[in-house]
A and B are shown apart, each in its own frame.
Chain A
């Protein structure tokens, strides 16, 4: 896929960033298994491990460059927010993480590497389908399938050949509970997902994503089409999801980033301008551009 990658790898002295993970042997239990019990590890550990390591990434849509020299380490089981004016490349970077960009003609990572848990995801031997099972995605415009709620949730599981009824039932309940939607829809699981309200639809999409037990959930402006009440619910949901999932969220809404993320990356014109703890970004930005943006002076 990207010819320059092997060379880059060779020239780099220290290979995968999984090395630090050695200090923490019990990395993570399977996400779903953990969903019932809040994992204290995530909250207590001061220094999180890096899950996604983006190094020197350039990205092109045909001849136009959308990302330039992005270096970013995303922590395991934290919420990372991407902010920046529209068109700055947030979505592009997000979609690089599960290779949804492969679907776009002429789109390519022309330089750099993206590693998830040490695995270079743009290597030819990587199976995109497997990757996407592990890196789920929630879209800006909620897109429940025109099927029943139940079918929506079990869609991903059926793809993997799971068809045992009691197994599916259990996953549906767990996922819907995980997405804080269970109480609202438990009596009408076989009605169409399209019949839900906008906020419910988006949470249904989240439930659908977590049903396949990913490690990472990418969210591309998940609340931009929702009213404040629904937005609050989704944000609340993100707070609970962070215990078990690594969440990367693109948002236009600075308050949202401030409220629910641990770290924030600010992009501008295809470059990463600043990446730091959310608190720092909003209270004490290092870069004047960041400051201008978060204080609402442009964008």
Chain B
């Protein structure tokens, strides 16, 4: 506004005002920036989580490659080729003991023999089993020797690495003299492996001998007492044939084995993603295969969902469509209350009460038709799954109820107006209209249980092995370990920066990505659903 106007008109329409500015921002702008910054924190946190998981997990694949390389260079791999033979033999002897147990029970129960008589009747079989068992001894002794040799090479290598690190640190601290004094015995794998590789002819001889012996033993086997057992015994013979037939392949492996063959980068990755073994702090070789943990997490979550989905969705339908207003007022807070039960308390409940109770239940004779019943491991997939279901129900219930609530009233009224009953309306109109909401509720429930730690840590049994799926449905009575559980259990005990430590971060990263994926899919489904209603 011009000077003259201002002077002519005393109460001028003064609507400009000088406000304090900092960096070109007024106070109000600064406040806005401040709040915006706070909102941005969530982005930062998400980014930081990603960064830290990657940063800590980053070195893993490199270290794992090194881990696999030393496995090869120190000859551990070579020894493990032979070890598979002894391991397979052990499995065969286990089959034999099972067979003996069956024969024994046949003699005791069907033939009503006394224990002494039964054992006497089995003397021939025992003799056979004994000869079968001892046939492997030379090979086993050899494996044991080789194991020692390979371990020695590996230890030398590790010591050299430690010394190198020591020297590096001393140099970094400026103690050059001390650093120079550190003696490093560099490992020459070619020389070190020579004695190991030199055993190949001996191995061949031992192997040939083993083959002869096994065949000889098999011919002297006493005939089993029942046709059913005979079938099993024939199966055993077949297995032995297959076992023996595999010998040349092992020899071939040993002959062509080359410690210089490089370990590809991808193998460090595939050994993690597809590795069937998670074995840490072992004297021989550490394996970081996530499959057993992943399968464990998945199994527990699946069991939880199988239980929680019908109950969660059912309760949501009941509360939203069937229950009276008073019931609604009562049930909703109750379910909210259940969701407030801390997971560690549920885990404790599982250890203290539920595990035992379920096992007792499984031992009831009238329930023996249930697959896997009776079982003896108190803490297993089923126990953890039941508790996780209780955790997932409130999540699924709340979200599914929201979805049901979002169905326009008009749909329902239109259906009633056509003379449909309440049940028909629910089944034909309400549920289909809210189906995608329900599906995304289930997905988010899955996210909830797969990320749950304390319950599975306390109640899943913590056995790191892929459960035996050949048991059919009974697989759910086996103990497993999970991704969340392994982090919680091992994180406190590992060396910072070590391969094990990094492996745990990679497992965390996997969990993180999994949760993002589940979230993403759930969001996608909800978005689609919105469009379809509008």
Contacts and interface: CB of A to CB of B under 8 A. Distances in A.
When A and B assemble into the complex, do they touch directly, with CB atoms less than 8 Å apart?
yes
B110 interface: no
A27 B9 contact: yes
B495 interface: no
How many of chain A's residues touch chain B, expressed as a range? Answer: 20 to 34
A294 B8 CA distance: 42
A116 B5 CA distance: 13
A32 B94 CA distance: 104
Contact of A131 (B8, B11, B15): B15
B283 interface: no
B15 A22 contact: no
B13 A126 contact: no
Interface stretch (A117-125, A177-185, A218-226, A234-242): A117-125
B3 to A, nearest CB: 13
A134 B9 contact: no
Interface in A110-158: 116-119, 121, 125-127, 129-131, 134
Interface string B234-251: 000000000000000000
A96 to B, nearest CB: 15
A22 B8 contact: yes
Interface in B1-57: 1, 5, 8-9, 11-17, 19
B17 A117 contact: no
In this complex, the member of B11, B15, B17 whose beta carbon has the largest number of chain A beta carbons within 10 angstroms is: B15
A127 B11 contact: no
B9 to A, nearest CB: 6
B458 to A, nearest CB: 49
Contact of A127 (B5, B9, B12, B16): B16
A95 interface: no
B15 A27 contact: no
Nearest to A131: B15
A215 B17 CA distance: 18
A271 interface: no
Nearest to A130: B15
B15 A18 contact: no
A41 interface: no
A27 B5 CA distance: 12
B19 A119 contact: no
Nearest to B28: A129
Given A16-B5, A18-B5, A22-B8, A117 B16 contact: no
A212 to B, nearest CB: 14
B17 A118 contact: no
Nearest to A124: B16
Interface string B265-300: 000000000000000000000000000000000000
Nearest to A125: B16
Contacts of A27: 9, 11
A117 B9 contact: yes
B14 to A, nearest CB: 7
A215 B15 contact: no
A130 B16 contact: yes
A215 B13 CA distance: 9
A16 B12 CA distance: 13
A119 B11 contact: no
Contacts of B16: 125-127, 130
Interface in B131-185: none
A265 to B, nearest CB: 22
A87 interface: no
A118 B14 CA distance: 10
B189 to A, nearest CB: 69
B11 A118 contact: no
Interface of B: 1, 5, 8-9, 11-17, 19
Given A16-B5, A129-B17, 8 more contacts: A18-B9, A21-B9, A30-B11, A117-B12, A118-B1, A127-B15, A130-B17, A131-B15
Instruction: Enumerate the 4 nearest inter-chain pairs by beta-carbon distance, A residue then B residue, closest first.
Output: A117-B13, A127-B17, A130-B15, A131-B15
Interface of A: 16, 18, 21-22, 25, 27-30, 116-119, 121, 125-127, 129-131, 134, 215
29 contacts: A16-B5, A18-B9, A21-B9, A25-B8, A27-B11, A28-B11, A29-B11, A30-B11, A116-B13, A116-B15, A117-B9, A117-B12, A118-B1, A118-B5, A118-B13, A119-B1, A121-B15, A126-B15, A126-B16, A127-B15, A127-B16, A127-B17, A127-B19, A130-B15, A130-B16, A131-B15, A134-B13, A134-B15, A215-B13
